[in-house]
Amino acid sequence: MRTRPYATAIAVFDEVELLDVTGPLSVLSGAGRQWNFQPFKIDLVAKRAGTITTRSALSLSATHGAESQLDCECLIIPGGYGARQAAKDAQFLAWLTRAASEAQVVAAIGNGVWLLSQSGLLSQEEVAASPDLAAELSVLCPSVRANSRAALCSSGKFLSASKSAFGLDLSCEIIARCFGPKLASSVSAALGIDWVGELGALDIVPGPLLVK
């Protein structure tokens, strides 16, 4: 039975979509709160530690830079306009590729799927994408199976959401995968998220902490 938090990193960059960051933060930090337990230890990681400006013109503070050797069991890649520019940054992309290859769970939202696709780790994986993004991926990353009809997709350790609003459901899927569906259902009910496990059966950790 797991007794320590999952080391979790959220990749951030200028012009990141704010909801793609704060949505997962709210959901994951709410898990275990009633037991005074922290199932996910969350850090924001940018090219350099410090302030970044979101798509909503609000600032976030990254606690780590891409040069740090941060342990990462769960990785969340938000979208937003800035994801395209972040994909062109060799140092940031190198960190993202390393973190994604080492993580047990990797989740991408919106244009975060594009950023993840540039890591070269999505060969033959299915991802949820908007119709426009799916068309782009079919040309530039033909090995990626972009599904423009699905809100959420699961493919191995990769989870994806086509739009920002589905990032909340995606975060519940992360909880379900790490600690079981009972805890995910409890968190979603407390937050008013209509989560029913759309992705179907997941590989649940046996004997999840706090879920009996």
Here the tokens at position 31 are: 């898990």
Range of the domain at 90: 6-191
Q: Is residue 203 part of a domain?
A: no
**Overall number of domains in the chain:** 1
Give residue-wise pLDDT tens across range 114-140: 999 999 999 889 999 999 999 999 998
User: What percent of the chain lies above the pLDDT cut of 90?
Assistant: 71
The residue type of 175 is I
**DSSP 8-state assignment for residue 138:** H
Calpha distance 52→58 (Å, rounded)? 9
Here the tokens at position 161 are: 């959401």
Calpha distance 202→69 (Å, rounded)? 29
Is residue 207's pLDDT more than 70?
no
Q: Is residue 149 part of a domain?
A: yes
Give residue-wise pLDDT tens across range 147-201: 999 999 999 999 999 999 999 999 999 999 999 898 899 899 888 888 877 553 3
Of 34-43, 56-65, 72-81, 115-124, the poorest mean pLDDT is in: 34-43
Q: Is residue 123 part of a domain?
A: yes
Q: Is residue 43 part of a domain?
A: yes
pLDDT at residue 155, rounded to an integer: 95
**Spacing of C-alpha 2 from chain mean position:** 21
179, HSE (Cβ side, Cα atoms, 13 Å):
27
Q: What is the mean pLDDT of residues 37-62?
A: 94
Q: Is residue 206 part of a domain?
A: no
Yes or no: say if 15 and 81 are a contact pair by the CB < 8 Å rule. yes
The residue type of 83 is A
Is residue 205's pLDDT more than 80?
no
pLDDT at residue 209, rounded to an integer: 41
pLDDT at residue 176, rounded to an integer: 93
Calpha distance 180→143 (Å, rounded)? 31
Q: Is residue 121 part of a domain?
A: yes
pLDDT at residue 199, rounded to an integer: 53
In the beta sheet, which residues pair with residue 1? none
CATH assignment at residue 123 = 3.40.50.880
Highest mean pLDDT among 63-72, 97-106, 193-202: 97-106
Q: Is residue 44 part of a domain?
A: yes
pLDDT band at 1 (very low <50, low <70, confident <90, very high): low
Q: Is residue 132 part of a domain?
A: yes
pLDDT at residue 138, rounded to an integer: 92
